[in-house]
Structures are given as C-alpha cells and as structure tokens.
Amino acid sequence: MAQRNLKILIAGGGIGGITALLALRQRGIEAELFEQAAAFTQVGAGLQVSGNATRILRRLGLGDALARVAYYPEGRDYRAWDTGDRLYYTPLGERAEARFGAPYYTAHRADLLDVLLGGLGRQGFRLGARIERFDQDADHVTLTLADGSTATGDILIGADGIHSTVRGQMFGKELPRYTGNVAWRGLLPAERVAHLDVAKVTGVWMGPNRSIVQYYVAAGRTFNWIGISRSEQPARESWLAEGRVEDALAEYSGWHDTIRTIIAATPKLLRQALYDREPLPDWRAGRVVLLGDAAHPMMPFYAQGAAQSIEDAYVLAGCLAANSADPVAGLGRYVELRQPRTAWMQDLSRREEELYQMNDATAIAERNARMRTNRIPESATFPPEQERLYGYDAEAVLTTGASLGAR
C-alpha cells in the first residue's frame, strides 16, 4: 500500500492525550485533541516522573523545561511508621540517571501539564468540546460533540481517563473497582518542614492498613505527601474533595512525630477514593483505541499512572507512523507492545499495596527482615522490578519490535 497522510482524533486533554498529540506531531502526523473542559485543568498534587517517562519527554524536546520545575530526589527511603527506622533504600538521583540513562523527577501535576502545554503551543486542540459519541465505518471515525458539530479522522484515541466516554461506548459502561483505599493528599510550603530535616528523597512510610509517601515538588519549593488508608467507606473521587486535618491526624494516630507534624502543618487536604479496573484483553474496536487511565487505571503504589500514559502515547504515535498505509494494523501493534507491560504494572501496583499496608505482625516482621538487606544508601541496589520498569526505552521498543520491559 502507498503511504498516505493520516488524521488522528484524540479525546481528552490530560497528560496522556497531550503527549500523544506532541508525539504524533513530531512524526509529521496531523492530530486534533478534544477536551471537554473550558481550559486545561491544572489541578492535582504531586506525581513522580521516572526515567522511563523522562526519556520520552526529552525526546519530545521538553527535558530542559521539565528540569526547571521538577525536583531531583537522591533516593527512595522506606521507613517504619512508628519508629522511623529505615527498612529499605533504593538509589535515585545521579546513580539512577547513570543506570537508566534518564533522570527521575518528582513534580506537581500542574507543572508537568504546563511543560506539555508549552510544547503544544496554541494549535491542534479544541476546548469546551464534550464528546457525545463516535461512529465509524471501514475507512473513517467521526466524533459528534455536544454542540452538534462533528470531526472526522482515520483513528480515534480515547485518552479521556478512568471514566472514559470512549471506553464506555466501545465496551459498555462499567463501574471502576473501588480498591478499598482512600487517599489523603496535601501540599505545603517547603519552609514548613525545614525544621524536620526531611531528606532529599522520596520517603515511603509503611504501617498497618495505611501508608504515606512524601517528596518535594516545584523545584523544591513545595512539599507533597499522599497518605493511603484502607477504608470500607469510599470518599468522593474528585480533585475537589476536601478532607479535614483533624480526621487525617486521627487516621494516623500513633504514627511518627515527623508524619503527624507534616499533616498538622498542611493548610488544605484532599480525601479521595482510589479506583482501578481489571486489565482489558484488548484496547481496540475497529479504528478506536484507548490509552492511559482509559485503558489501564492502576493504584498509585508504584507511582506509574502518568508515566505509563506517556509511554502509551509515544509508542502509539510510533506504531501509527510505521503503519500509515494501514493505521488499524498500527493499533494492533500498539496493543501488542503495550498491553502486557501495563497489565504487569497494574498487578504490581496492587501487590505493592499489600507490601506497604500489611497488618499481620508476623508478616510485617518477615517483610522488614527481608527489606533490611538493602538499606545502606552507599551500597543499595536496584531491585528487579525497578530495573524492568525504569529501564524501559519506548524508542527501542519501536525499533526492535520487542516489548522490552514487559516480560
């Protein structure tokens, strides 16, 4: 078949959707993004941008912009909830960058979105564009928007999140699974924790039925924490769902003074339910395909939601570029390359919840004994899961045709 020009439609203006637009544009493919909000929503809190994602952002020309707004932690420090004793340590910073060939950052979601939007410019998207439905035939897919207007292209990418409208039409409406956990999220000025001598690390505190992860964002100006707690009563699933400091302190009663001081110093708290879904056997329906949380929402214990969306976007763009004469075949190749890795990541994130939040005293003692073999920063090594996760090179996957990091 002869090569031809493609037109790609993208539903959703989050991290995955915007990255897909940038990656397609870099490969010379026309794309248009449709976001239902009147503006790109710069909400949220901290997130971690591991080397598997920063490698891609560098290839998209965003490395310098990201470095200016992110934080560069030296390591990941796992501690006991009550005593604060270090149980485990894995290197980040220069050692991780040398090992995996790309930096590991922590950042505010709004800052990462700003970096992506800076690469996007002022074209290629429509705001206030709520999708009502899609229709497809053998050659095209057409979107119908809430205002009655339509848009037609060769492929539709559903990057519209865990409550994806596109996914619902593809596979039927299905409620996501409540994971049995709620998340407390807080941001506070870095000077409020200066007296605590909080290390320049991603801190992980593990306790019975709950955990806390903490790190700096905004180039070190802001301190971010997320506390995850098992709860039979789900909270609202919204970036606007506020919680009360006194309730968070009650939730983390008996925890180390460092944790309780950080919670008490937080000016505003969010309390949100955490949901995920079972892995799908396929992400396609004809000329329509899913990426990111629309395809594989996962628990946050490996901090890979944003990173996996970025990987999806880059690999999908590459597969479409390599199959411009038969884009449906390109979708098949994308799913073949990406689905095993994200299913592994979903499962790993669920298993990590039990590792962090187990409550059986014997199991905790056994876990702690295992973990203490890797707690000296100078000699700490990267566990196999991190080797597989952070060493993933999306460009190499496209070049070799092998799903590296998915095995």
Helical H runs in 182-304? 245-251, 257-264
Candidates 313, 311, 109; CA nearest to 217 is 109
Cβ 52 vs Cβ 387: under 8 Å: no
Say which of 215, 216, 334, 390 is annotated catalytic: 215
From 284, 323, 353, 316, select the one nearest 4 (Cα to Cα).
323
Contact 125, 35 (CB under 8 A): yes
φ and ψ at residue 51, rounded to 5 degrees: -60, -30
Are 201 and 76 in contact by the 8 Å Cβ rule? The answer is yes
Spatial CA neighbour of 272 closest among 305, 236, 245, 246: 236
Cα separation of the two ends of the chain: 33
Q: Is 215 a catalytic residue?
A: yes
Identify the CA nearest to 196 among candidates 248, 256, 254, 251.
256
The tokens for 112 are 């990462």
Task: Catalogue the active-site residues.
Answer: 215
